[in-house]
A and B are shown apart, each in its own frame.
Chain A
């Protein structure tokens, strides 16, 4: 190892169940590798300092800011992005609810919100409305005023729970 930060290293990332091999600089962020090297551009970059949540992905089931991690740190983890939500042509209940409730306008923050809400509900299907509002306030949306996002997440929570029962 020369120690030069721009020396590339081989990595393997499991994104949506598929292993992607890439040669990247160790300093390359997870979101950049997901987008540039794995070609999954549904995960967006809004602030690059971990505030807006547009880059939220699930890492071993936990919502994380993929702009605040290096890709090399995510090796060995199961990464889920918005592209992995639907099964075949069937949308995830969260995706369907966002459409039904007009929970998106420009759609830029949407993948982050979808992953955040799905990640939380998979672990805590009975989360209270108040706690869910608290969770949702960790991501930013500039178009909707959140009202319809909250409605959609509640509706999807109900559908997801019914499917599990």
Chain B
């Protein structure tokens, strides 16, 4: 750890965020209280599908300390929760109402809201609200033939189609066709802090406040203001500490709307905290897809075409993202490979389960799994090694920037830079692939079920279009950076501070980074799609350059020098290269720039500036993951013995934090590959509602993750050359684990579903052992 540096960009400094968090002084949603607040508790549907006949709240209302009980009738003026990207006429019937009115469509759907003086009383009262529902047959299989949720409302809400070229001709001319049916289970972010929202109406200022906001506070302000018929000037969102985001937290859910409306109408602050069981049935779930995918291959193992028809289990409603996960899946599926012809149809299917939306690496965890399964199958079918078949198809560095006529997140797909084959070679050399292969082969010959897996993938990051930052240097010398970004625990403050410190010749610990506050800056897009560092750091760099110029200009007058001969070192403006010469601190320069300063001249007051960064395209980092997996013969349990993530980040602002993102992301991906699944019974009752049935990886489950971080392909679409790391660890976790487990079984193509369950492996191994078809029969290649 470098704590003193001339260059802050690239330094693995410790985080500015940490001190309050290790001393118990964080401010998470649960830690926020206002005087005279009420506590809200939601009454939820106990049925997956049904007709809501009546809600009887009389007993609850009669209880001491209960202030109100609301059903849909009480908020009939509120529209359903809207899509962030704006209205969509075709999809609007699938939006979720704040409280269910006539139908319930998943277990956990909010039916009534209880407001009480105390959280315990609210919970007691909620149990006394009687909900009368006629249960209906649930729809649970997204890949079955489409049907209707109710008359006129089909289960196929939309089909996302993308593609180019002539797929049918390619399949006709193909040397070989490889076809797979692969699927990914339903899992999600499951952050350690459940959701929370505190609504407060300040009548004195006519401002409605939402505390506990995260991820996209500014954009949510716009949506909420529209839904509530208020001006955005009268709605403010406040992000405190966020106990894990990963895509799930910070979206607008029914509870967020309810605390705001209740704060307005009941005239008291309203606090809601989700409990864990609620989180497991009410917060966004993700991932569940089934791909029927096939590839046309020429005689050399080169991809001619991919044709994919997939089914996305959306659950009961379309939430704030609309159909975005499916569209991203379509746009990113070809990954790092050259692909002359491509056709994909993603069916967004409604079911009677908890609604789905984004979870870290949405559309890529799924598509990387499907595509890399396909690459392994192609290798197997043609008798090529898994490395060789990938190598033959990788897009070459000379083809960059590489444009594909596809769209992901509303952005045309243009890979800005990449040296894919070079990274593959580095990864193979780093892990010692050849020796590892020999070792695995000999262990397998000795009867172990051990295997090697590989996956190559392209990530996306830095979603635009624009972000801003305003820098103000106080007379104390403190550098305040006000951003429209959001911090969800990823180290946002530290990296933005590092960039500003570098530009302003100051210590990063002199920088205070403000985020997630709609009352401090007008616009912001927030922290999602691995965009926060790329967008806000570049915006901060633009603002810092302006502040720097202004500081040098003012200092030039004070030091009677030419601004071109000045530099900022250690927080002071000095003559370039002159040690011990005249110096003036940034704080003093700010003092000279006060509105009342006589030395300010014609300059605008304040040592401050605003900077904006805009980009028309995302930036695409890429990676190679290699795993060694061992299956326990007796239990079927998989242990990942070795794991390498080779990842090109373009340019790392803080390598330690990048590695932290990659390791943590992989751990989550391991969960979705081996442990985690939201299961439902035949009536649509959720079976994974506690940490005893939904297993998060523990310290025992996660292997040591070796990181090979490279900076071979700086981004071509932003001045800092940076790319994102937030989702790079998880994106190919399912793909690489499946590849390794497959290899351990010595029977290619057996792993077609995630999560891979020990019971299933145990049965396979027992069958192998019984027939004598030992795993040793085929080698890893």
Contact = CB atoms under 8 A, between A and B. Distances in A.
Interface of A: 6, 25, 27-28, 35, 40-49, 51-52, 54, 81-83, 85-86, 91, 95, 98-100, 102, 104-111, 114, 133-134, 136-138, 140-150
A135 to B, nearest CB: 9
A142 B23 contact: no
Contacts of B173: none
Contact of A51 (B243, B491, B657, B690): B690
A100 B698 contact: no
Given A102-B15, A107-B17, 14 more contacts: A44-B28, A44-B193, A47-B691, A51-B692, A81-B24, A82-B22, A99-B15, A99-B22, A106-B243, A108-B241, A108-B489, A133-B700, A138-B698, A145-B705
Interface stretch (B174-182, B662-670, B772-780): B662-670
Contact of B491 (A28, A49, A100, A105): A105
Contacts of A54: 192
Contact of A145 (B193, B242, B243, B663): B663
Given A42-B24, A136-B699, A145 B691 contact: no
Given A41-B24, A98-B18, A146-B702, A108 B690 contact: no
B21 interface: yes
A43 B193 CA distance: 12
B-side binding surface: helix, strand, loop or mixed?
loop
Contact of A107 (B26, B124, B660): B26
Contact of B25 (A42, A45, A98, A136): A42
A144 B242 CA distance: 15
Contacts of B698: 137-138, 140, 146
Contact of A104 (B18, B246, B696, B700): B18
Contact of A146 (B25, B244, B699): B699
Contacts of B26: 41-42, 107-108
A42 B489 contact: no
Give the one of B1, B24, B25, B656 with max A CB within 10 A: B24
B243 A44 contact: yes
A122 B700 CA distance: 22
A146 B667 contact: yes
A142 B586 CA distance: 40
Contacts of A100: 1, 14
A133 B696 CA distance: 16
Contacts of B34: none
Given A102-B15, A106-B192, A144 B30 contact: no
A91 B23 contact: yes
A111 B660 CA distance: 19
Given A45-B30, A83-B24, A86-B23, A107 B667 contact: no
Given A49-B276, A146-B667, A147-B663, A85 B18 contact: no
Interface string B164-179: 0000000000000000
A104 B691 contact: no
Contact of B276 (A28, A46, A107, A146): A46
A111 B28 CA distance: 13
Contacts of B660: 102, 105, 143-144, 148
A47 B698 CA distance: 15
A34 B40 CA distance: 21
Interface string B696-727: 11111110110000000000000000000000
Contacts of B692: 49, 51
B587 to A, nearest CB: 24
A158 B663 CA distance: 24
A5 B190 CA distance: 33
20 contacts: A42-B26, A51-B690, A52-B192, A83-B24, A85-B24, A95-B22, A98-B18, A99-B19, A99-B22, A102-B657, A102-B660, A105-B660, A107-B18, A107-B243, A136-B699, A140-B696, A142-B192, A142-B244, A142-B696, A145-B663
Interface in B317-373: none
Nearest to A136: B699
B23 A47 contact: no
Given A106-B193, A107-B21, A144 B28 contact: no
Interface residues of B, number: 58
Interface string B211-245: 00000000000000000000000000000011111
B528 to A, nearest CB: 15
Chain A at the B interface: SS class: loop
B605 interface: no
A56 to B, nearest CB: 12
Contacts, number: 170
B23 A95 contact: yes
Nearest to B17: A107
A27 B124 CA distance: 12
A105 B664 contact: yes
Contact of B699 (A44, A52, A83, A133): A133
Contacts of B667: 144-146
B126 interface: no
B24 A40 contact: yes
B192 A99 contact: no
A144 B192 contact: no
B22 A107 contact: yes
B191 interface: yes
B191 A142 contact: yes
B23 A83 contact: yes
Given A104-B21, A108-B244, A111-B24, A44 B489 contact: no
A102 B656 contact: yes
A27 B121 CA distance: 12
Contacts of A148: 660, 663
A145 B664 contact: yes
Rank and list the top 4 A-B pairs by shortest CB-CB distance, nearest first: A42-B24, A106-B489, A107-B21, A108-B243
Contact of A108 (B193, B275, B664): B193
Contacts of A28: 120
A49 B690 contact: yes
Interface string B290-317: 0000000000000000000000000000
B608 interface: no
A52 B697 CA distance: 11
B691 A51 contact: yes
Contacts of A144: 660, 663-664, 667
B490 interface: yes
Contacts of B663: 144-145, 147-148
Given A105-B490, A106-B489, A146-B702, A48 B14 contact: no
B399 interface: no
Contacts of A98: 18, 22
Interface in B592-619: none
Contacts of B488: 106
Contacts of B244: 105-106, 108, 142-143
Contacts of B6: none
